[in-house]
Chains A and B, each alone.
Chain A
């Protein structure tokens, strides 16, 4: 028999009035996994998290925690803790009292509370902050206190609702690394909600891409990036060139009035398809090796690479290249078969 998952979401649907926010969602989450729900706002990711936390009840479906149905169980009876989007620290309590809140509810002894709070403050690099007022802390510090307040209860699962959204870019990057480290050191399941695809790719073991209340793709960050399953995922994760194509037969795809060799098969003859090509997968080559010719419209220097737009007969390509070409120059383009991703059109 297969190992019991930490959480199973079974046929989960949620309606707010007439709005279908979650549409028959199925997902399982393994122990110690860092799973990210990724999607644009309104895709249902926060609702999913709130259903797992017990703050919303699903209209249909079940939430199963370690094999037990917990649908309808109030949040205070779940072994799950949450880091809220705006931290939701208690303004009438100081740092120590905030972190100790859950332990005091559980009637732990004073020594134990003191010991655990001190440990937690060390974990989040805020040792000595016990007596500080919440309002005197910076956004990043409040963030850490919110994480400490949740983790001190030793939950089986930690839910994080866009916890880094309010921080500036540099702090966000630091916190991404710290959060990942914390997750590995405490060894619990993290379910993380974000609309930032880079954040999702950096931290997660598994990324769940959602749109319109449905899961679009589940996979490792590498899978999601390299093998997007549909046009939405390709567009949402990273930058893409997406072209209309026709699948002539296996390993032969036709787009921009040209035939290309690819590695995809199993389509109907002459099926209309989406062709996705990542900007870094378009090579700039000499004319004699080129499959397409185009004129460079503009060039931006981005540090590691140049970002350019190249106009071919019918399409403007986004290209990332380490080769510098001036705007207006005539260049050859080539795409190797491995980098041409063919996917079925959505109905």
Chain B
């Protein structure tokens, strides 16, 4: 294999920032012992065995469930938005997409904290409800709040790739469909939607992966009620100090994401599930 000068640089970069850390995670996952003395660790499948018990599997199931639902909501909200923006006049289109992107320039934590003040017991929404003479609601620290946080934070990642595919679509294909007798609805179902699938796939990937592994959203908006696999991993590294078990869970999550991505890309005939054109 021949590589240019930049090629070697990239290879070194990959080794330092991808291969070595990944290898370390794998090494930790398949060993047991004291995290502080890595060199003395022994090969062991103990960490994996420990994970496949009902308590931990329940956490994984819940993580996948919430990530799955939030991905679907993002798709249902995001597709029409992307479609409407892509049909707008060029001048308005840029403004609309900018409006969508601007919140992403703000700090992620800050945006999530903002929901605390909105949803809290004495938050703005409950303030309005009590003003109207109703009992305050428990809006915070439940699955719905976590879902809301996920959808809010990850929606742009669904909208942008779909928007990108829709704007690049050759308009003569749509005209050809009309020409052959398909009305607007049939044209959407038979031409526009199938051709936008690569964008949908990118969007699904870009929402599902961060949603399934998040720990910030769940700990801020879910409190201790919604405990996700991300929280579990964080706990092992930050509090419990069991790097072996944490690494094993990371590997399991990674394998799981790989499987679900492989399944999703099966739906895409052309395997164009990249995010090209956007970044």
Contacts and interface: CB of A to CB of B under 8 A. Distances in A.
Q: Say whether A and B bind each other.
A: yes
Interface stretch (A80-88, A209-217, A247-255): A80-88
Interface string A70-109: 0000111000111011101111100000000110011000
B181 A102 contact: yes
B91 interface: no
A304 to B, nearest CB: 40
Interface string A224-251: 0000000000000000000000000000
B191 interface: yes
B191 A90 contact: yes
B186 A82 contact: no
A76 B195 contact: no
A53 B179 contact: yes
B254 interface: no
A101 B172 CA distance: 15
Interface string B123-154: 00000000000000000000000000000000
A38 B183 CA distance: 31
Given A76-B183, A84-B172, A88-B170, A101 B195 contact: no
Nearest to B186: A105
Contact of B181 (A86, A92, A106): A106
B191 A76 contact: no
A101 B177 contact: yes
A149 interface: yes
Interface residues of A, number: 24
A82 B176 contact: yes
A11 interface: no
Contacts of A90: 173, 176-177, 191, 195
A75 B179 contact: yes
Contact of A75 (B170, B175, B186, B194): B175
Given A90-B191, A92-B269, A84 B178 contact: no
A55 interface: yes
B182 interface: yes
A105 B179 contact: no
A88 B180 contact: no
B168 to A, nearest CB: 12
Contacts of A91: 195, 270
Contacts of A31: none
Nearest to A85: B172
A6 interface: no
A97 to B, nearest CB: 10
A105 B180 contact: yes
Contacts of A54: 178
B271 to A, nearest CB: 13
B51 to A, nearest CB: 41
A153 B181 contact: yes
A76 B179 CA distance: 5
Contacts of B170: 86, 88
Interface in A126-165: 149-150, 153
B231 to A, nearest CB: 41
B194 to A, nearest CB: 5
A322 B22 CA distance: 81
B192 to A, nearest CB: 11
A92 B194 contact: yes
Contact of B176 (A74, A84, A92, A106): A84
Contacts of B190: 101
A165 B26 CA distance: 58
Contacts of B270: 91-92
A74 B269 CA distance: 32
Contacts of A89: 176
A125 to B, nearest CB: 22
A74 B181 contact: no
A82 B172 CA distance: 11
A81 B175 contact: no
Nearest to B173: A88
Interface in B196-254: none
Contacts of B181: 76, 102, 105-106, 153
13 contacts: A75-B175, A76-B183, A82-B176, A85-B172, A86-B172, A89-B176, A90-B191, A91-B195, A92-B194, A92-B269, A92-B270, A105-B186, A153-B181
Interface of A: 53-55, 74-76, 80-82, 84-86, 88-92, 101-102, 105-106, 149-150, 153
Interface of B: 170, 172-173, 175-183, 186, 190-191, 194-195, 269-270
Given A102-B180, A153-B181, 5 more contacts: A55-B175, A75-B175, A88-B172, A92-B194, A92-B269
Q: Which 7 A-B pairs have the closest CB atoms?
A: A102-B180, A88-B172, A88-B176, A75-B178, A105-B181, A82-B179, A76-B178
